[in-house]
Amino acid sequence: MNTIRIKKFGLAVGATWALLYIGCAVLMMVAGKDGTALFFNSLLHGLDTSSIVRMGVPLSEFLIGLVGSFVIGWLAGACTAGIYNFSMTKRTN
């Protein structure tokens, strides 16, 4: 029976979420407020995000968000791997 290594899968998901977070920050720097709103409006099927897009995020908030994204991603990945591994164990009665 194949199992997923929980810590490694958690690391992979956490790193992916952190990269997506950085990508979002880069998008905001490159595209500006209007471009960022347009991008997220397109992703969210036309939901208007222009009123909630906040530019000029302080570095401290960016770093807290980056670490938080990694931690939440790691926990989601580890939980997914743990549930998968648990569901794949054979039951002998």
37 within some domain? yes
Which is nearest to 65 in space by CA: 25, 36, 34?
Answer: 25
**Looking at residue 92, what is its pLDDT?**
55
93 within some domain? no
53 within some domain? yes
Q: Quick one: average pLDDT of 81-86?
A: 94
The total domain count for the chain is: 1
Structural domain range at position 42: 6-88
- Please state which of the ranges 35-39, 62-66, 82-86, 89-93 shows the lowest mean pLDDT: 89-93
15 within some domain? yes
CA dist 76 and 82 (Å) reads 10
51 within some domain? yes
66 within some domain? yes
Per residue in 26-76, pLDDT tens?
999 999 999 999 999 999 998 999 999 999 999 999 999 999 999 999 999
